[in-house]
Amino acid sequence: MPRRPRLAFAHPLDVRDAHTWSGTPRSLLRALETYDVEVIPISPLVMDVGDHERRQHARYARVAQHYHLDSTPRATEGYARQVERALRDVRPDALLCVTPLVLANLDTRIPAFLWTDATYALLHQTYPNFTNVSAESIARGWMADAQALSRCHQAVYTSTWAADSAQQDFGVPNERVKVVPFGANLDLPPARSVALDLLAARSTRELRLLWMGMHWDRKGGDTAVRTLTVLRDLGVPATLTIVGVSPPDGAKDIPFVRWEGFLSKNTPSGRARLDALLADAHVLLLPSRADCTPMVVGEANAFAVPVVAANVGGMSSVVCEGVNGTLLPAGVPGEAYAERLAVLWTDRTVLTALGRTARDAYDEVLNWGVATRQFLQLLDRALDTTSVRTSIQRA
């Protein structure tokens, strides 16, 4: 009789912590546990750092370069040995990782899956903390990705942008690459009827914009503020709420900007405040300079909040023009965002319709139920090919 599969889930950080990678591993773990799958976290892991690595880190810091301690051979070998010991103890049928660093030096015969949002090639090209990097770390980042991709049974990415890079930059065959977006990292997403009631109840007196992020420059925080200023100059009664960061120098007292700071998803009060801000917003504004497939898109859509974003990275895989938001070309100034938003505010029926179809996007694509089912289909096929007789059902 088929038995339920045993899936190990390895990560250097704690997969149960809502602060680990914006809560994605935690949400994925919880989603998998709603199915008849035994999920075995191998997490957190110890990053092995020696005196040589510390000296190198300090040396490069003196010349304002990044030296990534987590991709050194010592670190990736250490991750691999810890995971191998755990795999021998728990004897799972398959392994899931959301970072290539765990897989890079791993020796295992069970099917291993990498499910992530970018390749090192893309991060090195676009992300600030991956661009000003020491030559050593660049070479090791590329090598870790290449080794992980050669070892994994299936590489699953959250966008065609990332999947294309795996094939073009690392030579991964098409049949070993899939695209499955992550879901929204919400513990208790609102029911559809509740979200649509929130949409109908939103203010008709002012346009409420929401910006969320931990990286002011990369996420285009200055462009968001400029957008607000231009909207006010155009006569649109707009406000902007900033979540995640403290005000940069000179920005604290900008009129009509509210600074919420960091709100922790690990606390009931933090989660409740984030939910309240999403419930109240008309639009999530994401004028990012670099991004992959930000989880906040699905979170906003769950509350029937559309997204106005920059078409960077994998954004076009999670924001569909005219469905759950609108995309502007990368690098356009706040004036362009203000013009687009002013049109939406002028024709409120369009904005309301966009909120409704944004919720459709959440229901149909950007939720963990859909994402998990697609992943489990891949897992089921992999276990069939390895003659492991299992049965995956909803718990």
Tokens 């049949």 locate to 175
Q: How far apart are CA 309 and CA 126, in angstroms?
A: 17
Of 4, 9, 27, nearest to 266 by C-alpha is: 27
Given this chain, do its domains 6-183+367-385 and 192-364 carry the same CATH topology?
yes
Beta-sheet strand order (sheet of 112-116): 38-42, 6-10, 94-97, 112-116, 154-157, 177-179
Three-state DSSP state, 213: coil
Q: How far apart are CA 119 and CA 132, in angstroms?
A: 17
| Band of residue 392 on the pLDDT scale cut at 50, 70, 90 | low
**The domain made up of 6-183+367-385 is a member of CATH 3.50.50.60:** no
pTM of the model: 0.94
- CATH assignment of 192-364? 3.40.50.2000
Span 68-94, pLDDT tens digits: 999 999 999 999 999 999 999 999 999
Q: Where are the domains of the chain?
A: 6-183+367-385, 192-364
Span 212-263, pLDDT tens digits: 999 999 999 999 999 999 999 999 999 999 999 988 887 788 899 999 999 9
